[in-house]
Structure 1
Amino acid sequence: MTGSARTDVHDVVVVGAGSAGCALAGRLAARGVRTALVEAGSVVVPPDSTPIASLAATTPGHVLNWAYRATLCQGREWTVPRGRVLGGSGAINGGYFVRAVPADFADWAVPGWSYDDVLPYYRRLERDLDFCTSDVHGGDGPLRISRPSGHLRAPVTDPFLQACAALGYPPEPDKNGGAAPGAGTVPSNAVDGRRVSSATAYLPPPWGGGEWQDALTVYGGRVVDSLLLRGDRVYGVRIGDDELHAAEVVVAAGAVGSPALLQRSGIGPEDTLRAAGVAVRHELPGVGRGWSDHPAVFLPLRSGLPDPHADAVAAQASLHLDSGTDPAGDLEILLFAHPFAPGGPAHLMCAVQRPDSRGMLAITSPDHADPPRLDYRYLRSTSDRHRIRAAVRVAAEILRVAGWDRAGPDDGGPAGWELGNDTRLDEWVHSRLTTSVHLSGSAGMGTGPDAVVGPDLRVHGLAGLRVADTSVLPSVPRRGPAATAVMIGERAADLVGT
């Protein structure tokens, strides 16, 4: 789409070629639905960004991520990476591919979205190389899923699992099995040391490995300025001077991009829109509000440990556990086997998986070039502060049992006197607080006054518009949302057109 202004017509426009958007667009095109897939970033994934051991594309300033500025808590600013490339965040992340647990869906209590309702979609997306076809797993889906073994299993992985067992934590050999929380290796969508996104898995050549589908048109490097509304119906999108028209528009731009686009289009909280200079077209108070993510801190392992194979996934194994109030597991200790910097130690990430904190997202102008404000509001509750202290203390015990407890006098980990004092440990956590980059719930699903979409993913009060990505989850799941994002795309493919 270059030159003079033009209008293209399709059956469906999917905005955002991330984990959910690619799955959705690929499934629709395979059915012969004339589908436009619009991606703000490049549709060419550079080969040097695909090694699963590298997280280089998540660093601030990298061309493949948006690098949003955010406030995690008072006095703690951060840069949050989100994928800006075909495949979205799934094309730049660590390959952690773990499902939400049954308790998440029970908590959300959205009709048609129980664990039993969504299990067929989790199965449909995967070809699990370890557990194969079963009542729980799929054996012929587009995404190959495996756990680290052989030369892809890092030297620190078994000692980590042994330390968890020595401390009395049960094994959980299948993190995608819906069983009770415990310690086990992490499922990954990496193949032969290469990151495989839903773009690679679902889209036809030249973007992916599927069969060519004439029904699919991919628009790369194009940012959608706004949705096109006529009364209470959305009939397309505006991209600069150009327009794409369709019977349905599905916004799948991610948990930051989707609410920001809705707000730029005049759909959202009245006060936010007016403050940004946007005319209110359809008031929905929940757009950009009430979302959640996993607050986290990192503890280093002892330096000088054997390096993992270059093709080994970074996130090797994890311990999910109950802080004392959540049998489904509200804490995670995740082993990162690759150091963050050459010559540095590996790390344990300690995260609160079911936080109380709820964030706010607000655009500052109608211009997509002006990034939205992100305010995470982490650790405001006594419960969240208690739980992240508990996670750090468990991680410190794992380091001690495994013999990794001190990487050096100034290794960045909490000292013993900090571990034993709540106030001092809170100060240490604040100084090192980060986020798991699992933002969810910024256009939440449900029927209450703050819900943005219904169980069919239609935006409340508007025809022709759905949202399909992790923004629709009522809250962040207890485990990272990458697998759930693809599942949402799969589920949306069966809903669109109905």
Structure 2
Amino acid sequence: MGKYDYIIIGAGSAGAPLAARLSEDPAKEVLLIEAGDDYPDSDKFREDLLNASFMAGAVPGHPNNWAYTGNLTPELPYSVPRGKILGGSSALNGCYFIRGTKEDFDRWEKAGNTEWSYEKVLPYYIKAENDLNFGDTDIHSSNGPVPVYREMKNPYGMTKAFYQACKELGFTYEEDKNAGGEPGYGPVPLNAVDGIRINTGLAYINPNRDRENLTVSGKTFVRRVIFREKKAIGVEVERNGGTEIIHGDQIVLSAGAFNTPHLLMLSGIGPSEELDAVGIDVVHNLPGVGKKFSDHPDIQMGYKPNKVPGPDEQRDNLQSALNFTSTGSEHPGDLEIMLMSLPLGASMLGGSKFKGIADIVKRPGQTLKSVKGISKKRFLQQAMHQGDMMVVIGLQYSKGRGNITITSKDPHKYPRIDYHYLENEYDLSRMREAMRTAVKILTSDAYKQYFKKLTEIDEATLNDDDKLNKWLLTHLASAIHASGSAKMGPSNDPEAVVDQYGRVHGMEGLWVADTSIFPMVPSRGPAATAIMVGERIADFIKEFSKDKEEVNQ
């Protein structure tokens, strides 16, 4: 076809909802581009990515993982999984489906984004969900495309013990973590049904394949956006062994918090000095592209169990969480402790053929090649402890900010990603508090039937701030929740990349709709919020198109 009304780059957490909603108008031709595999038949989707117990797609070397490399600290390189498949990272993640809090959106609104108040985004959260626990209420719906389920009536024994331990420590029960109440312990809402991960491709795109105006182009790599002066007119892509230009009236980047700023820079939009340095012609100088992104540092703390949960208990690896506020914090619920029901190795590798240390010995070259560029020491540490059970401890509001820097004009060369985790005492002190709280839970009377001993940290380290700081900086992980790398804000904000409607400042016909536009990462995992953004910006684009048509009449 000659030209599309809308070209959406990325069929992930935001891009799939966006394409589904924009294609509701049969008069609009919509093209959804995905660099990875497309699965029009949901029954033939990769089995290892459907299983909600595993995150096999997050392992380096998986064919549907972009596998970026980032530096959590200058001394700690880390593998950064991102989905390269229909559904994007929603096909790889842990199925955690908790909304952002009112306080999160108060901060977004305060930053000049009045269209993103909690009251204005709540209807879009509701629109997206089919809540299998609460059904239709003032804050929930049973009519949306994404099923949301919590194990509430019959929590498993390990989950019950975790709840009782949290109660012993004085925390309160939070029945519905999507209700906007006070943070506490309780079941985690999951976009999983009967152990099957329902990604956005399955929820939004495949049910609408019969729309003649919706085209999905899988295995299509976008090299850059094409402009006529300051107007986006198409995209240059690689597909079917060749390079071509596809024309469109409105171009939307939904490629994620790393790919979207990288594509902007490859297209000549970003910090001019950095673009000049790699030989890219500057179309528009936007210093905020790739700068000051936020994320959730975390720690995966392993322990030897007295007993391992049975297969039924492990169907959903992530079942329960404690959200609580650190001592003296102005940010409610800025700490999170999540109980995992599977050992570390099974959680990450259950859907693959990797068998830990034994596998490295059998094929060291192949295994270590797949983790090229990351910390071999940390990788081997984790492999040694792949049989451990674990709790994941997250800092949900961090002062640290990361940067993404373009390294080459070659679109296949990944950018440099620097997280700058735990570079200040405020972040370190709250991570120490979260660690020590997690240990209290594990060693409580309520949980002792499941806990035997910690495996990577001793009591002396836990009780000494300096020793614990050093341990944290060598055992850090990331929740992979990067946000704000092309943040929204008013035009007088020198760091803003898009306005509050998702339109790139200084450009025409170019939008962004994914986690990169968040002013800062929400204090809960961003999966549900990314979908909400796709839903919300779809309406903005529809309104813009309607206004444009009325002007032209």
TM bin, normalised by shorter chain, reads over 0.9
* Among 111, 128, 136, the residue aligned to 1:125: 128
* Among 2, 15, 27, the residue aligned to 2:9: 15
Deviations 1:200-251 (A, max 9, x none): 0111xxxx23462111011111111000111111111111431121110010
Asked if the contact 1:301–1:404 (Cα under 8 Å) also holds between the matched residues in 2, the reply is no
Answer with 27-36 or 167-176: which moved more: 27-36
- In 2, Cα distance between the equivalents of 1:333 and 1:169? 12
Partner of 1:318: 321
Code of the residue aligned with 1:191 in structure 2: it is V
Partner of 1:299: 301
- In 2, Cα distance between the equivalents of 1:321 and 1:112? 28
- In 1, Cα distance between the equivalents of 2:223 and 2:461? 49
Code of the residue aligned with 1:28 in structure 2: it is L
Asked if the contact 1:228–1:234 (Cα under 8 Å) also holds between the matched residues in 2, the reply is yes
Partner of 2:351: none
Question: How far has the Cα of 1:364 moved from its partner?
Answer: 1.0
Asked if the contact 1:51–1:311 (Cα under 8 Å) also holds between the matched residues in 2, the reply is no
2:22 paired with 1:28: yes
Code of the residue aligned with 1:372 in structure 2: it is P
1:402-441 to structure 2, matched below 5 A, reads: 402-403=447-448, 407-408=452-453, 411-412=455-456, 414-441=457-484
2:109 paired with 1:114: no
1:145-160 to structure 2, matched below 5 A, reads: 145-149=148-152, 153-160=155-162
Question: How far has the Cα of 1:150 moved from its partner?
Answer: 6.5
- In 2, Cα distance between the equivalents of 1:164 and 1:361? 38
- Structure 1 unmatched runs, 5+: 1-6
- In 2, Cα distance between the equivalents of 1:316 and 1:249? 38
Aligned pair in 2 of structure 1 residues 407, 364: CA closer, same or farther (>3 Å)?
Answer: farther
Question: How far has the Cα of 1:31 moved from its partner?
Answer: 2.0
Asked if the contact 2:231–2:508 (Cα under 8 Å) also holds between the matched residues in 1, the reply is yes
Code of the residue aligned with 1:403 in structure 2: it is K
1:471-490 to structure 2, matched below 5 A, reads: 471-490=516-535
Question: How far has the Cα of 1:307 moved from its partner?
Answer: 3.0
- In 1, Cα distance between the equivalents of 2:209 and 2:227? 34
Aligned pair in 2 of structure 1 residues 483, 359: CA closer, same or farther (>3 Å)?
Answer: same
Code of the residue aligned with 1:41 in structure 2: it is G
Code of the residue aligned with 1:338 in structure 2: it is L
Q: Secondary structure at the match of 2:32?
A: strand
* Among 242, 259, 274, the residue aligned to 2:244: 242
Code of the residue aligned with 1:335 in structure 2: it is L
Asked if the contact 1:302–1:404 (Cα under 8 Å) also holds between the matched residues in 2, the reply is no
Give the RMSD, CA atoms, in angstroms: 1.6
TM-score between the two structures when normalised by the length of structure 2: 0.85
Code of the residue aligned with 2:479 in structure 1: it is S
Asked if the contact 1:24–1:493 (Cα under 8 Å) also holds between the matched residues in 2, the reply is yes
Q: Secondary structure at the match of 1:255?
A: coil
Code of the residue aligned with 1:50 in structure 2: it is L
Code of the residue aligned with 2:398 in structure 1: it is P
Answer with 133-142 or 476-485: which moved more: 133-142
Count of aligned residue pairs for this structure pair: 485
* Among 360, 381, 390, the residue aligned to 2:424: 381
Partner of 1:143: 146
- In 1, Cα distance between the equivalents of 2:467 and 2:12? 40
Asked if the contact 2:308–2:450 (Cα under 8 Å) also holds between the matched residues in 1, the reply is no
Partner of 2:334: 330
Partner of 1:182: 184
Q: Secondary structure at the match of 2:114?
A: coil
Question: How far has the Cα of 1:311 moved from its partner?
Answer: 6.3
Asked if the contact 2:309–2:341 (Cα under 8 Å) also holds between the matched residues in 1, the reply is no
Deviations 1:341-365 (A, max 9, x none): 2572321111110100000001211
Asked if the contact 1:104–1:478 (Cα under 8 Å) also holds between the matched residues in 2, the reply is yes
Code of the residue aligned with 1:105 in structure 2: it is F
Aligned pair in 2 of structure 1 residues 77, 407: CA closer, same or farther (>3 Å)?
Answer: farther
Q: Secondary structure at the match of 2:54?
A: coil
Question: How far has the Cα of 1:112 moved from its partner?
Answer: 0.8
- In 1, Cα distance between the equivalents of 2:106 and 2:2? 42
Partner of 1:65: 65
2:269 paired with 1:267: yes
Q: Secondary structure at the match of 2:439?
A: helix
Q: Secondary structure at the match of 1:156?
A: helix
Q: Secondary structure at the match of 1:108?
A: helix
Question: How far has the Cα of 1:106 moved from its partner?
Answer: 0.3
Asked if the contact 1:194–1:311 (Cα under 8 Å) also holds between the matched residues in 2, the reply is no
Partner of 2:214: 216
2:199 paired with 1:197: yes
Partner of 1:3: none
Identical positions, percent:
40
2:235 paired with 1:232: no
- In 1, Cα distance between the equivalents of 2:280 and 2:334? 39
Partner of 2:36: 41
- In 1, Cα distance between the equivalents of 2:135 and 2:345? 36
Answer with 399-408 or 371-380: which moved more: 399-408
- In 1, Cα distance between the equivalents of 2:74 and 2:449? 32
Asked if the contact 1:154–1:312 (Cα under 8 Å) also holds between the matched residues in 2, the reply is no
TM-score between the two structures when normalised by the length of structure 1: 0.94
Question: How far has the Cα of 1:30 moved from its partner?
Answer: 2.0
* Among 456, 474, 491, the residue aligned to 2:536: 491
Question: How far has the Cα of 1:302 moved from its partner?
Answer: 3.3
Code of the residue aligned with 1:15 in structure 2: it is I
Q: Secondary structure at the match of 2:115?
A: coil
Asked if the contact 2:331–2:397 (Cα under 8 Å) also holds between the matched residues in 1, the reply is no
Code of the residue aligned with 1:126 in structure 2: it is E
Deviations 1:315-349 (A, max 9, x none): 11111111121352111111111112257232111
Partner of 2:378: none
- In 2, Cα distance between the equivalents of 1:198 and 1:306? 30
